[in-house]
Amino acid sequence: MVSTHDSDGGANRAGETPVAVVDSAEETAEASVTESGTELERSIGLVGGLSIGVGTMIGAGIFVFPGLAAGQAGPAAAGSFAIGAVIALLVALPASELATAMPKSGGGYYFISRALGALPGAVVGISIWLGLVFATAFYLVGFGNYAAAVLAEAGVSFGSGVVVPLALVFGVLLTGLNLFGTENAAALQNYVVGLLLTILVLFLGYGSLDALGVFGSASTPEQFMPFGPVPMFTTAALVFTSYLGFAQVATVAGDIKEPGRNLPLAMVGSVLIVGVLYVTTIFIATSAFGSAALSSFGETAIVEVARAFGGRFGAIAILLAGLLATISSANASILSTSRAVFAVSKDALLPSVASRMNLKYGTPHVALAMGGGPTLALVALGEVEVLAEVASFLHLVMYGLICVALISMRRDEPEWYDPDFRVPVYPLVAVPGAIASFGLIAFMQRESQIIGIAIMLAAAGWYKYYASDVSLKGVL
């Protein structure tokens, strides 16, 4: 049964169309685009959901952090990545329960707005929109750098001046691909992540055998904690940014088939897969060179490990994997950005034009433009490193509030709250998840903290100016 209501709690704005809301039982069906432009077609299966989660997360944890983490914690950096995975699971489990109860586009924004109210929802929704824009720009610039590095390793060098043009061109192509159908974007994600995982599994498989002495001579193991236990935990705060992608699966929940089954499997599964890859990578890297030598390589450490195993071919292969990782991260982030904007607009916290649908392709074309346009502008500026950490700041705020939202929903238990998946002993999961998420913010650069807080205050100001009459708590 489909019913309509004013998403602003009765004060429907002039010129805006009431939003169609589908009962939760029907959300498991294959939704389709309607003339009112409010529904998304469920076209992404479990493999696609895993590809979004895994493809967004595989990146810095393998291609940037190994050398930096080994320098701070030694071989115990593997423990740092394991700690990060545990914290990510503490958030992924509450997010999974909320997602099966509310399988809507917007993910964390939707959960928080329904559990805690419109103001926290608006702050999170608008902040995550901008945070994903920052993250996408970072990924696209990373794509340009990896593309230039692959060409240089192959003997074709255009210099650093080609990085931004490559990033801009590919950003336009990915935005266009998402515009012409979610199935196209999901198919690209599946192929890219599949090839990426194949390269990494081959690399890590060979590296594991080498570390164990099957190939060549066995290396003498280092002391696991040469600097003591504290650096393992402080390094966990550094590398946790590598796990900030699993919630993108919830952001596109409105596109996921059989959400009651596939959402929890995709979110929890992607954290487990990536966690194993990260821990294995650090084990292999520190075994190949030792933590001191690995630290001297800095952000290119994993390329040097691959070069040691396979010469120039190995270096090119791992650079190609890095290129694929940036493609998958950028593609998933563009898709998630549009769904975040779409969800916030449907609730009348942004102008209704942002939730318009392209009926031919079944995609929110205005929301895609609101994500792609600012992203390309940031790429053209070229300075995106600080903005990437701001994106992590905003994600951590959302993760902490997701855990608080679960506690609120379990306490109130509204009649419509009927998740297909329930977190066992949820306080022992949600409370540590909230504390860990908010606590990691303290380890970030002061500049990132200031920018993140400023964005949240601006989002709150927008809510008070534009949508202070919106009431979303308890509205499914």
3-state secondary structure of 3: strand
**Domain-embedded: residue 474:** no
**Domain-embedded: residue 268:** yes
Q: What is the CATH number of the domain that holds 424?
A: 1.20.1740.10
pLDDT at res. 220? 53
CA 157 to CA 39: how far, in whole Å? Answer: 47
CA 418 to CA 378: how far, in whole Å? Answer: 41
pLDDT at res. 29? 43
pLDDT at res. 221? 61
Contacts (Cβ under 8 Å, ≥6 apart) of 391: 131, 132, 134, 135, 138, 244
Burial class (CB in 10 A: 0-12, 13-18, 19+), 2: exposed
Name residues of the chain where pLDDT drops below 70.
1-40, 60, 159-160, 211-221, 299, 383, 385, 474-475
Q: Torsion angle of alpha carbons 87, 198, 50, 235, nearest 10°?
A: 20
pLDDT at res. 241? 75
Burial class (CB in 10 A: 0-12, 13-18, 19+), 229: exposed
Measured CA angle at 440 (ends 405, 333), to 5 deg: 70
Domain count, the chain: 1
pLDDT at res. 44? 81
Residue 60 is part of which domain span? 24-466
CA distances from 270 to 198, 200, 326 (A): 16, 15, 17
Contacts (Cβ under 8 Å, ≥6 apart) of 166: 143, 144, 147, 148
pLDDT at res. 8? 40
CA 80 to CA 65: how far, in whole Å? Answer: 11
Task: Tally Cβ neighbours within 10 Å of residue 381.
Answer: 11
pLDDT at res. 187? 81
CA distances from 455 to 3, 56, 430 (A): 35, 23, 26
CA 6 to CA 202: how far, in whole Å? Answer: 54
**Domain-embedded: residue 19:** no
DSSP state of 252: B
Instruction: Give the sign of the dihedral formed by CA 194, CA 199, CA 204, CA 205.
Output: positive
- Could you identify the residue written with the tokens 């998946």? 421
CA 443 to CA 9: how far, in whole Å? Answer: 39
Backbone angles phi, psi at 40, to 5 degrees: -110, 145
CA 319 to CA 150: how far, in whole Å? Answer: 6
**Domain-embedded: residue 472:** no
pLDDT at res. 217? 55
Contacts (Cβ under 8 Å, ≥6 apart) of 272: 85, 89
CA distances from 85 to 80, 91, 224, 301, 400 (A): 9, 10, 19, 22, 15
**Domain-embedded: residue 15:** no
Q: How many CA atoms lie within 13 A of 3 on its CB side?
A: 7
Contacts (Cβ under 8 Å, ≥6 apart) of 376: 168, 171, 172
**Domain-embedded: residue 10:** no
Helix (H) or strand (E) holding 401: helix 385-412
**Domain-embedded: residue 139:** yes
- Print the SS3 string covering 314-343: HHHHHHHHHHHHHHHHHHHHHHHHHHHHHH
CA 474 to CA 46: how far, in whole Å? Answer: 28
Q: How many CA atoms lie within 13 A of 424 on its CB side?
A: 0
**Domain-embedded: residue 476:** no
What global pTM score does this model have? 0.82
pLDDT at res. 400? 95
